Amino acid sequence: MQAIHVHGRDIDQVKKQARFAVLPLGSVEYHGPHSPLGTDIVLADGFAERIDAALEPLLYPVIPYTACPGKTRHYPGTISIRPSVFIDYVTDIVEGICELGIRNIVLLNAHDANMGPSRTVAEAVTGKYVDARFLLINWWQMVPLESAERKGIFQGTTGRGHGGPYEMSAVKAFRPDLVHVQESDLSLSASQPLSSLPYVLVEGSPQGWDGYTGDIRQTSLEAGQWIVEEAAVNMNQLLKNWLGTTKGNGEDEQHGLS
């Protein structure tokens, strides 16, 4: 159910029915000549719509504006909000949801730079509303890297990367009219990973980069349909697991964090 479609007289009934609220997080950001500025909005909204209605979510509108990294900030069309403003803004939104009486909140994210601020918001709000529970879902993490490699949907690459074939194929699955690779568009080779272990590397001008990266000629509707279906199945299973757990003793429930 869409929160903005709820009538005032029905609010009490809706908040009793809704098991959790969903706040999608996007961006307005350059993703290359072949991709829409609203790439992350399309993805955040698209995956929100793929949440199983039987789980009884209450869907809020996508947050379109956010902080963008230095490597895309100066490309045409990018609108970057100061991180502190974004944190304050999202905090006010989720506190409003908590005040409504809904304390299970999913932050459904489609923009890499939202990860840190979103975690900050969740930590702050759970300090005020101690019975609140947040689940931060980054859609691209809903498909394990090795499963995409086993499927062989891309050749010689995992396809991952900003504006690359993995992301843009997923956009194409939701909006095939918005992704157009032309002969003049360059395919770029991203630098090799430094380690198989997780790490964070921040660069203003990475190698193999022109506001996007990757072998974009491998973008396809077929790949996107497989990615979206796989991600949606795994996302819904994660949500079912989350909703099925009992609230703990205040320990961090995100896997691998303490």
pLDDT tens, 94-107? 999 999 999 999 99
Among 18-22, 165-169, 252-256, the least confident range: 252-256
Rounded mean pLDDT of 23-28?
98
Residue type, 7: H
Tokens of 131: 């019975």
Residue 115's pLDDT is what? Answer: 96
pTM: 0.92
pLDDT over 90 at 248, yes or no: no
Residue 254's pLDDT is what? Answer: 45
Determine the length of the chain: 258
Tokens of 71: 């490597």
pLDDT 10s digits, 183-223? 999 999 877 889 989 898 999 989 999 999 999 999 999 99
Residue 27's pLDDT is what? Answer: 98
Which positions ≥6 away from 104 have C-beta within 8 Å?
19, 20, 21, 132, 133, 135, 242, 243
Q: For residue 175, what is the DSSP state? A: -
pLDDT over 50 at 127, yes or no: yes
Rounded mean pLDDT of 68-85?
97
pLDDT over 50 at 255, yes or no: no
Residue type, 78: T
Q: What are phi and psi of 91, to 5 degrees?
A: -60, -45
pLDDT over 70 at 252, yes or no: no
- The sign of the CA dihedral 78, 83, 89, 91 is positive
What's the start-to-end Cα distance of the chain, in Å? 34
- Whether the CB-CB separation of 159 and 165 falls below 8 Å is answered with yes
